[in-house]
Structure 1
Amino acid sequence: MGHLRVGVAVLTMGDRPAELDALLASVAAQDPPAARVVVVGNGSPLPPLPEGVTRVELPENLGVAGGRNVALQRLRQYGDVDVVVDLDDDGLLIATDVFRRMAELYRRDERLGIVSFRIADELGRTQRRHVPRLGASGPMRGGLVTTFLGGGHGLSMRMLEEIGGWPDAFFYAHEETDLAWRALDAGWRIRYAPELVLQHPWTSPTRHAVFYRMVARNRVWLAKRRLPAPLVPAYLGVWAVLTVLKRPSPEGLRAWWGGFLEGVRTPCGARRPMRWRTVARMTALGRPPVV
């Protein structure tokens, strides 16, 4: 891959204007600069944006997956983007060479599909849930992995043309895993690059009111869509046990089981299970698709 043209996609609900301004300033400071920057107002009007930024205002909130597909489609229409970088609207690129260093990773590996950034707070701390591998390895250990972080990452447009975009119906939760499993099954690689940092506030996923329901429903959908039949009960059983062990509140647990049953009862799109060689590949990378 020669000169790599970067397109940046940012979703916002209009409730973080100061953070969005800071993020866009950090994007503008990148050397080399992005070829395109698209900001999607996900069911909300957009504040004034810097010159050259493409604005898209959606009449309704399509969720993370749907909103990112809208941004992706707009970038695809321009026809001059090789890698899409998705960034949370309350994140910040604290270095000015993030795109340059990411481009070098893609130049070294023509089958690199996804680059996952490291997410760290203003003190440099990375939450355990933001380390995309099992075990006790620290956040500074990079390498090939089986999933990626939604808050900051790069996606090859060639890969997306082959495997498709985000799963719209998921709305929020596990949309990254669905995309990652499809990428791996098509022979693409995912690299966690801790040197590429997105600064992001220390948060809890349960801050979202729909967290427990969406997590459970979408995990069932993920299993039904992507796993070989023998692995579906193993995967869902492991996560049911792990959820109980985390001891959520009674309200959270009720919402989780409600979402689980919703996932069982409702359609989830076409079933295209991964191949067993993909299962073996994921296992070799340290995360078999049962946990």
Structure 2
Amino acid sequence: MNDRKEEFIRAMDSLLAQQGVDLDVVVVGNGIEPEHVPTGIRTVTLPENVGIPEGRNVGAANVKGDLLLFFDNDAILPEPDSIARLATRLQQDPELAYVQPRIADPDTGITLRRWVPRLRADATRPGTVTVMAEGIMLMRRDVFEPVGGWPGHFFLFHEGIDLAWRCWDHGYTGYYMPDVIVHHPATNPARHATFYRMNARNRVWLARRNLPRVLVPANLAVWTLLALWRFRDPKVLRTSLAGFREGMRTDCGPRARMSWHTVARLTLAGRPPVF
């Protein structure tokens, strides 16, 4: 959105310095014409801001390649073989849909809890994961397209859980590679004015779209109890509950209920889909 000039330049420099992979790069302007784009890099300009997940869908549709790298414009690949290492791991196991590196703040080295795609937040432990941090990950195109890509109407927040669940429902898994580190500033998502509303709305949409109907109330009950415990500010709580109501009353998008076999696989992998 042309609001991160210095960060964008550093991100592109680190991306174009990658070795051992053939890159086809496109920059998506979400409601703007992209600026500061290196010579030779293609751009797509959208007439309006359609949100982050739909912007990623547009990007994926405009590049070639068997693997798709989704890369935030304030991230940095500190090593020139980062993508090659992720790609090697992905290609070694045909059951993997996606691989995610460890995301760390460039100044402190801290990996935020929300960047670790598992319930037990050991950022240094590799292994199978059932969700993803959306800002930087590598995925097979032949999985991304059949499962339907990102849920574009989510606009922002929780689109990675939705995509990961659909990958698992198609028989695939995800993998976390903490030995590959990507730098990203440790910002607070609540800086977005719409965070609490969209966070709650999309939680509801996520459950309604993907879970067997009997599990939807359990999932939403867990979320509600966590919200009541976490959000002590009455204004924040009211906004979150308004988003919850919006999620219940509005169209959640096409429903693709996961099988009970997928529920069992997710549970055995350490993350029952009610959490």
% identical equivalent positions: 46
Are 1:240 and 2:231 an aligned pair?
no
Give, in whole Å, the separation in 1 of the partners of 2:211 and 2:232.
27
Question: 2:90 and 2:34 mapped to 1: Cα distance?
Answer: 33
Q: CA RMSD in A?
A: 1.1
Structure 1, residues 222-277: CA drift from partner, whole Å, max 9, x if none?
Answer: 11110011110000000111111112422221111111101111111222210011
**Could you list the runs of 5+ residues in structure 1 that have no partner in the other structure?**
1-12
Q: Report the number of matched residues.
A: 274
User: Are residues 1:89 and 2:76 paired?
Assistant: no
Q: What is the rounded CA distance, in whole Å, between the counterparts of 1:179 and 1:248 in structure 2?
A: 31
1:273 matches 2:257: yes
Runs (4 or more) in structure 1 with deviation over 3 Å come to none
Counterpart of 1:40, as a letter, is V
CA contact (8 A) 1:141 1:194 kept: yes
Deviations 1:5-43 (A, max 9, x none): xxxxxxxx1100110000000011111244211111111
Q: TM-score, normalised by structure 2?
A: 0.97
CA contact (8 A) 1:118 1:195 kept: yes
Aligned match of 1:193: 177
Cα contact 1:119–1:151 (8 A) shared by 2: no
Residue 165 (structure 2) pairs with residue 181 (structure 1) = yes
Q: 1:130 to 1:84 in 2, by over 3 A?
A: same
AA in 2 matched with 1:29:
A
Alpha-carbon separation, structure 2, partners of 1:248 and 1:34: 49
Q: What CA distance in whole angstroms lies between the structure 2 residues aligned with 1:48 and 1:171? A: 25
| Equivalent residue, structure 2, for 1:249 | 233
The CA distance in 1 between the partners of 2:194 and 2:156, in whole Å, is 9
Give 1:192 deviation, angstroms: 0.8
Code of the residue aligned with 2:96 in structure 1: it is L
Q: Tell me the distance in 1 between the aligned counterparts of 2:128 and 2:94.
A: 14
**Cα separation, 2, equivalents of 1:248 and 1:203:** 21
- Which is worse superposed, 201-210 or 28-37? 28-37
Q: Secondary structure at the match of 1:113?
A: strand
Select the residue among 35, 49, 67 that pairs with 1:47.
Answer: 35
Matched residue, 1:71 = 59
Amino acid of the structure 2 residue aligned with 1:152 = I
CA distance in 2, matches of 1:200, 1:161: 27
> 1:137-156 counterparts in 2 under 5 A?
137-156=121-140
- Corresponding residue of 1:125: 110
Residue pair 1:118, 1:152 contacting (<8 A) in 2 also = no
Partner in structure 2 of residue 8 of structure 1: none
